[in-house]
Amino acid sequence: MPFADLETMSLSDYISQEAAKDSFWFFMHIPKTAGSSFSSELASKMRPYRNIHVDYTRTDVSTTDQMGGVIADFVAEMQTKDFRSASGHVVWGHYETLRAARPDCRVVTFMRDPVARVISDYRYQRTPMHPPYQEFMKEFPTLESYVESPASQNKTTLFMTGSRDALSPEELIERIGREFTFVGLLEMYPISFSSIFGCMGHKGLMPTEHKRKTPDTKDTQVEVTAAMREMIREVNHMDQAAYTYVQTVLRRHRDAIWAAKGRPPKKAQ
């Protein structure tokens, strides 16, 4: 079922109908959206599971070319092993290869407020947790230099469509609503988490993991002004449009749940 159905359906009906299907689930891990934590829980609940990844320390071949080979190897392995789930930093074009091999594939992902995600991405890539961090620090000595670089801009859109700018904001929203089974938000993590796992047939699950938190060091300290926040939103306008759409959809369901419990809806998030 497409995520756009949640614009009109109740969340409980949507989850029930999706849970009735026997599907292969793929988690598209957009960087710095709590994906490591979610992947860990997915690996424990939906076995057999595979983490699809490349070797970021290699310099002889690009990560894009590596991913193509890794995906091809996984597709071959899927012929002899009945995987229930997989995850990875896989952009849309490579995901389509998986879906061609498994037409029953359902794709889910998490998004994050664009300002917070870009800042977190910048901080993370300045740590040894990101293997080429020394090269990154030389190329982007300041947050502003990273924000100004096309490499940092509309990264969420790139993952979800395979391009940063091929679509209009309206086309992007339509694409997300049509192609994804569920899109969660880091800022609404509990309801997003429980809804996705509910669609997978695991009712009532709540998150327990919190992995790969970026450490606070002198290299990860950044000063973020109001002007910088506005700049990040402007150069990530596609990501902002997508985020606002998903936020609007999920807020309606969260507020309905709160109303059923006799509580006022939350003002933020």
Q: How confident is the model at residue 269 (pLDDT cuts 50, 70, 90)?
A: low
Task: Give me the amino acid identity at 138.
Answer: K
CATH code at 155? 3.40.50.300
What value does the mean pLDDT of the chain take?
Answer: 94
Name the 3-class secondary structure at 156.
helix
Residue 133 lies in a domain: yes
Beta bridge partners of 105: 24
Contact 35, 117 (CB under 8 A): no
Residue 193 lies in a domain: yes
Q: Taking Cα atoms as reference points, which of 45, 66, 48 lies closest to residue 57? A: 66
Both tokens of 168, joined, read 């209009």
- Using CA atoms, how far apart are residues 103 and 11, in angstroms rounded to an integer? 24
Beta bridge partners of 109: 28, 183
Q: How many independent structural domains does the chain possess? A: 1
Residue 269 lies in a domain: no
> Does residue 264 surpass a pLDDT of 60?
yes
Contact 78, 102 (CB under 8 A): yes
User: Which H or E element spans position 145?
Assistant: helix 143-148
The parent domain of residue 26 ranges over: 3-260
Name the 3-class secondary structure at 110.
strand
Residue 268 lies in a domain: no
Residue 267 lies in a domain: no
Q: Is 33 left (phi over 0), alpha (psi -120 to 50) or beta?
A: alpha
- Using CA atoms, how far apart are residues 155 and 78, in angstroms rounded to an integer? 29
| pLDDT value of residue 17 | 96
pLDDT tens figures, 65-122:
899 999 999 999 999 999 999 999 999 999 999 999 999 999 999 999 999 999 999 9
| pLDDT value of residue 255 | 94
